[in-house]
Chains A and B, each alone.
Chain A
Amino acid sequence: MPGLEDLYREIILDHYRSPRNRGELPVPPAHKVEGFNPLCGDEVVLYLDVDPDTDTVRDVKIAGQGCSISQASTSMMSAAVKGKSVAEARQLIRAFKALMSIHEHKLEGEGDGADLQAELEGVRLGDLEALQGVVKFPVRIKCATLAWNTLQQGLDETG
């Protein structure tokens, strides 16, 4: 039986209590994108400053409200993609979503998740791996992925 400490790792609680990159950026030049979880009311707001010349995420600011998992995931995401190229950010999105869906794939009997492991291959998730415990609590997975889906939407809109 997974315990609370699997879900709420210290690093997650730290990001929840002291979120990184909290604030706003002037729009434009930054792009604002919002994500909602209609079932639980979690809200993520991202301000993305993408440099079109270098295709780099120059700056990220975050706002919004929600549970510790959604807000910590947003904070950790902002720290992970800031300064990265758009391609690297997209790779991180894929890797993170693979991390979150391995459990589901196993449940659905779609093999051992080898294809998802391939997504994770060669990607340094770092602190983000602390969120892996979320997959043991299926109803909370959407809390963790909200920020990443919102980032993906934002990058699609700016690109």
Chain B
Amino acid sequence: MTYLDVARIKEDFPILRREVHGHRLVYLDSASSSQKPIAVLDAMDQMYRTSYANVHRGVYTIAEEATAAYENARTKVARFVNAPSTAELVFTRNATEAINLVAYTWARANLREGDAIVLTHLEHHANVVPWHMLAAERGVEVRWIPMTPDYELDLSNLDALLDGAKLLGVSAMSNVLGTMPPVRQLVDAAHAVGALALVDACQYVPHNVTDVQAWDADFVAFSAHKLLGPTGIGALWGREALLDAMPPFLGGGEMIRDVRLDGFTPNELPWKFEAGTQPIAEAVGFGAAVDYLSALGMDAVRAHEKQLTAYALNALLERFPRTLHIYGPLDVERRGGAVSFLFDEIHAHDVSQVLDEDGVCVRAGHHCAKPLMRVLGVPATTRASFYVYNDETDVDVLVESLAKAEKFFLG
């Protein structure tokens, strides 16, 4: 069964028409950043050409159009993750800034020495380093939910880890292994001990139907650039009562209701957290990206990627049964489309270099998840990751190119 018309979708992405080293571009690095469809490029271009002005300020026509476009984008993004209210959808620079916002406002207002935060071995540096910084500053303890040998979270000791914790931070999908932890179960466990739950959904939102209410989480962070949108914009969804009680993050224009010589009153949600002139065209691009994905249907996107990931896992294991090791669950029901692997005797960077000769783009390295790489005991892996514009032909090119790399280095 075919869930997406990939041949048709490929035509929507101008960059996929170019060649690299005389070969058709095969882009398999969407977990790092995705390519952009014409719909997104046009929406941003159109904004600049016809309706660009600063938002929430001018009373002239194009300023009102720009404001409407910016807020309309917020509504689209809020709906895309089933946020109950647009007041709860704060635009940030990316998921990293969204997590930092929580670390700098909620956490610094509420955590003190001796308090504990629980993270998992799967986390990206974006959901590790802000907490290390807090720990160093405040003497907060960071605890880790470990990983099982089959790349799932080991929840056997969860109650003890959560005992006395104030916050649980978990990735909804690992950018290295593809693992999808049981978010709702973890959120419930956190709430049961009075802790809040923050979900790093940067890898999850682009590839799945996302429902922040079904997760029952307290904060959810994601980026536009991984879901066909532009760089420079992302979002933090948070519960209204929490966001309301939190101190502001950055200070400046837009985030205030009033400023006096002796102080200021913050703006209402969500603008309270949006200081300075915002990435307006990028917000419009973000909205166009979720429109594009919604038109494909996120159920179909997920089904397509499951099918393609299963095809890729099979092809890799069949072609390289003894020399290639896959890091991550093999059951596509329990994983996303980021496939990390390593040849026994060839370094990930050397593999990536040979693949580039064939126009194949993959990521090689530690994927901004060095704690996880240490747990895995490898310095780097090669990662192929799939999206709506990839099909089985792309996987076939990858496999042939890998065979070439193996022959080149191992003879």
- Chain A minimum-CB-distance residue to B347: A67
A27 contacts the other chain (CB 8 A): no
- Whether the Cβ atoms of B379 and A41 lie closer than 8 Å is yes
Question: In this complex, which of A4, A43, A65 has the most chain B Cβ atoms within 10 angstroms of its Cβ?
Answer: A4
**A4 cross-chain contacts in B, Cβ below 8 A:** 353-354, 357, 408
CB atoms of A40 and B380 under 8 A apart: yes
Question: In whole angstroms, what is the CA distance A151 to B349 when docked?
Answer: 23
**CB pair A41 B365 closer than 8 Å:** yes
Contact mask for chain A residues 127-158; partner B; CB cutoff 8 A; 1 contact, 0 none = 00000000001001001000000000000000
Question: Counting CB contacts under 8 A, is A107 at the interface?
Answer: no
Q: Does B350 contact A (CB under 8 A)?
A: yes
Interface residues of A in 57-113 (CB under 8 A from B): 65-69
Closest to A7 in B: B353
Mark contacts of B340-369 with chain A using CB atoms, 8 A cut-off: 1 yes-contact digit, 0 otherwise.
000000111110011001000000111000
CA distance A65 to B366 in the complex (A): 14
B409 within 8 A of A: yes
Per-residue CB proximity of A31-49 to B under 8 Å, as 1/0? 0000000011111000000
Q: Does B21 contact A (CB under 8 A)?
A: yes
- B residues near A40, Cβ cutoff 8 Å: 349, 364-366, 379-380
Instruction: Verify if A126 is at the interface (C-beta below 8 Å from B).
Output: no
Question: Is B373 an interface position by the 8 A CB rule?
Answer: yes
A41 and B373 contacting across the interface, CB-CB below 8 Å: yes
Interface contact B357-A8, CB-CB below 8 Å: no
Name B409's contact: one of A1, A41, A43, A68 (CB within 8 Å): A68
Residues in B with CB closer than 8 Å to A42 are: 379
Q: From residue A83, how far is it (CB to closest CB) to chain B in Å?
A: 29
B373 / chain A contacts, CB cutoff of 8 Å: 41
Residue A120 lies at the interface, judged by CB distance under 8 Å to chain B:
no
A151, B7: Cα distance in complex, Å: 52
Q: Are the CB atoms of A43 and B379 closer together than 8 Å? A: yes
CB atoms of B365 and A137 under 8 A apart: no
B353 near A66 with CB under 8 A, answer no
Q: Given A3-B357, A68-B350, verify A39-B365 contact (CB < 8 Å).
A: yes
| Best-buried of B350, B365, B366 by chain A (most CB within 10 Å) | B350
Interface size on A, residues (CB 8 A): 19
> Which residues in B have their C-beta under 8 angstroms from that of A43?
379
The reply to whether B21 and A1 contact each other, CB–CB distance below 8 Å, is yes
CA distance A137 to B353 in the complex (A): 9
Contact partners of A1 in chain B: CB under 8 A:
21
Against B, the Cβ 8 Å flags (1 = close, 0 = not) of A1-28 are 1011001100001000000000000000
In chain B between 281 and 332, which residues have their CB closer than 8 angstroms to a CB of chain A?
Answer: none
Closest Cβ neighbor of A43 among chain B residues: B379
Question: Which residues in A have their C-beta under 8 angstroms from that of B364?
Answer: 40
Shortest Cβ distance from B193 into chain A, in angstroms? 36
Chain A residue at smallest Cβ distance from B404: A4
Q: Which residues of A contact B379 (CB under 8 A)?
A: 40-43, 65-66
Taking CB atoms and an 8 Å cut-off, the chain B residues in 72-114 that contact chain A are none
For the complex, what is the distance from the CA of A8 to the CA of B354, rounded to whole Å? 10
- In the complex, what distance in Å separates the CA atom of A1 from the CA atom of B358? 13
CB nearest neighbor in A for B379: A41
Query: Which residues of B lie under 8 Å from residue A8 when comparing CB positions?
Result: 350, 408-409
A140-B409 in contact given A39-B365, A41-B380, A68-B347 (Cβ < 8 Å): no
A67-B350 contact given A3-B357, A4-B408, CB 8 Å threshold:
yes
Chain B min CB distance to A7 (Å)? 7
- A140 CA / B366 CA spacing, docked (Å): 16
Query: Chain B residues near A67 (CB, 8 Å)?
Result: 347-350
Contacts of B380 in A (CB 8 A): 40-41
Residues of B close to A41: CB separation below 8 A: 365-366, 370, 373, 379-380
Measured CB to CB, the closest approach of chain B to A136, in angstroms, equals 12
Contacts of B370 in A (CB 8 A): 41
Q: Within the assembled complex, what's the spacing in Å between the Cα atoms of A88 and B350? A: 32
> B269 to chain A: closest CB distance in Å?
39
Q: Once the chains are docked, how many angstroms separate the CA of A67 from the CA of B346?
A: 8
Instruction: Looking at the assembled complex, report how far the CB atom of B367 sits from the nearest CB atom of chain A, in whole angstroms.
Output: 10
Most buried by A among B346, B347, B366, B408: B347
Tell me, rounded to whole Å, the shortest Cβ–Cβ distance linking B163 to chain A.
35
What is the CB-to-nearest-CB distance from A2 to chain B, in angstroms, rounded to a whole number? 10
Closest CB-CB distance, A5 to chain B, in whole Å? Answer: 10
* CB-defined A-B contacts under 8 Å, sample of 16: A4-B357, A8-B350, A8-B408, A39-B365, A40-B349, A41-B365, A41-B366, A41-B370, A41-B373, A41-B379, A42-B379, A66-B347, A66-B379, A67-B349, A140-B349, A143-B349
Q: Which 7 A-B pairs have the closest CB atoms?
A: A41-B379, A67-B347, A67-B349, A41-B380, A68-B350, A67-B350, A41-B366
Q: Which residues of B contact A (CB under 8 A)?
A: 21, 346-350, 353-354, 357, 364-366, 370, 373, 379-380, 408-409
